[in-house]
Structure 1
Amino acid sequence: MATESLIPPRTRRRGRGWVIALALVLAVVVAGAAIMVPAYVFPAAAAPPARADVIYVIGPPTEGRIALAERLRSDGVADDILISVPSEGEQSAAKLSVCQQRHVTCEHPDPFTTAGEMALLNARYGPEASAVVITFTPHVSRTRFIAAQCADAQVTVVDVPTSLDLGEWIYQFAYQTGGFAKAVAAPCS
């Protein structure tokens, strides 16, 4: 007598259902990783243009982003640096010494989002402008997507190399994916 005949047909079907569901979940995870890893971990590199109207550090204004902005300025890429800052706290314009330099403008976008930062760029510089936007690696693809939708200026997005642990990468995968969904659902808001 075959062992299979001892298992009721209903139980066999239920077991197959779990296998199919697990296979579907695994397929979604693999497909998601195939899309997200290149977008968040290895975004296409962009070299800053030889000349731009502004170097724009979008939030938060970390030391690495500010250092890259100042290096690009000293290389002659642009004369002006715009830095997106929170309205209060340790990274506000009142607390950052770089904001006191005459070639640096620190401003709080409203809303304090990537789309809000592009709106600030639009308000300060017109559609004829060009900007080098500095962010960090997991945010590059989403910044490019939002800039293409919302910025009037020609935008080149560059990143500061990012070192994150596994937990931080998992958080960024979730956060950036949610940000992409928001950008698709409510562009430029």
Structure 2
Amino acid sequence: MTAPRGAVTSLPARRWPRRLAIFLVVAVLVIVPTGGRLYSFPHTDTLADGETVDAILALGGRTETALYAQQLVEQGGASVLIVSDPYPTDDPDFQPVHDLCASKPTDYQLICFRPDPMTTRGEARELGRLAQENDWDRVGVVAAKYHISRTRSIVDRCYPGTLLMIEAPLSIRPLNWTYQYVRQTLGYVKVALQDGC
């Protein structure tokens, strides 16, 4: 018996699990190898002994990122430390960043800002603005390993100078890696849909 003309037919219920399984296998086969190169083994830069940049930006997201960027600046890697501080003021996990931003270092210039929007794009825009204002032609950006590749693609849109993407030494749990593969992949889709800085 055939369905009447114009009627909507649906697949038998037993085909959906199979199609979903095929989709998931294809997604894993695409995301894992690509994600491995982009998230687990990204191209990173380092500051060699005696090498300097005009400024080092610590992306928001992890307290350890800000503290590592501070360490690099205090070791002579730059004369300016820029810290993105999108964190809630009442969250004790981020108190070290708030304390850093409240400090008054004498050996280097400290610039803290709240990104607008509160995303990597907002951080890249502020870096681009500061670089233009201060004639910086070489900057470093400190980020978590899984965020390096996507950050590079975003910052490149806002900053035309030499960019060093520096990996913060973080301990990342396996479950967080799974989450980051999904999050960073969705983030790449968002970047692809956005124009300019």
Question: Is structure 2 residue 159 aligned with structure 1 residue 151?
Answer: yes
The residue identity in structure 2 corresponding to 1:167 is L
Task: Determine what percentage of the aligned residue pairs are the same residue.
Answer: 24
Q: Give the equivalent residue in structure 2 for 1:51.
A: 52
Please state how far the C-alpha of 1:19 moved relative to its aligned partner.
6.7
Q: How does 1:1-189 map to 2 (within 5 A)?
A: 22-23=21-22, 25-48=24-47, 50-62=51-63, 64-86=64-86, 88-89=88-89, 90=91, 91=94, 96-99=98-101, 100-102=103-105, 103-126=109-132, 128-188=136-196
The residue identity in structure 1 corresponding to 2:59 is I
Structure 1 contact 86–92 (Cα < 8 Å) conserved: no
Instruction: Report the structure number with the largest CA radius of gyration.
Output: 1
Once residues 84 and 15 of structure 2 are traced to their aligned partners in structure 1, the CA distance between those partners, rounded to angstroms, is 53
Structure 2 contact 139–163 (Cα < 8 Å) conserved: yes
Structure 2 contact 150–184 (Cα < 8 Å) conserved: yes
Helix, strand or coil at the partner of 2:142? strand
Please state how far the C-alpha of 1:21 moved relative to its aligned partner.
7.2
Helix, strand or coil at the partner of 1:46? coil
Q: Give the equivalent residue in structure 2 for 1:11.
A: none
Unaligned runs of 5+ in 1: 1-14
Structure 2 contact 131–159 (Cα < 8 Å) conserved: no
Unaligned runs of 5+ in 2: 1-13
Runs (4+) of structure 1 exceeding 3 A deviation are: 15-25, 90-93
TM-score by length of 1: 0.78
Once residues 28 and 18 of structure 1 are traced to their aligned partners in structure 2, the CA distance between those partners, rounded to angstroms, is 15
Helix, strand or coil at the partner of 1:125? helix
TM-score by length of 2: 0.75
Between 1:38-47 and 1:83-92, the stretch displaced more is: 83-92
The residue identity in structure 2 corresponding to 1:104 is L
Count of aligned residue pairs for this structure pair: 174
Larger relative contact order, structure 1 or 2 (CA cutoff 8 Å, min sep 6): 2
Please state how far the C-alpha of 1:107 moved relative to its aligned partner.
0.6
Between 1:30-39 and 1:70-79, the stretch displaced more is: 70-79
CA RMSD, 1 decimal: 2.8
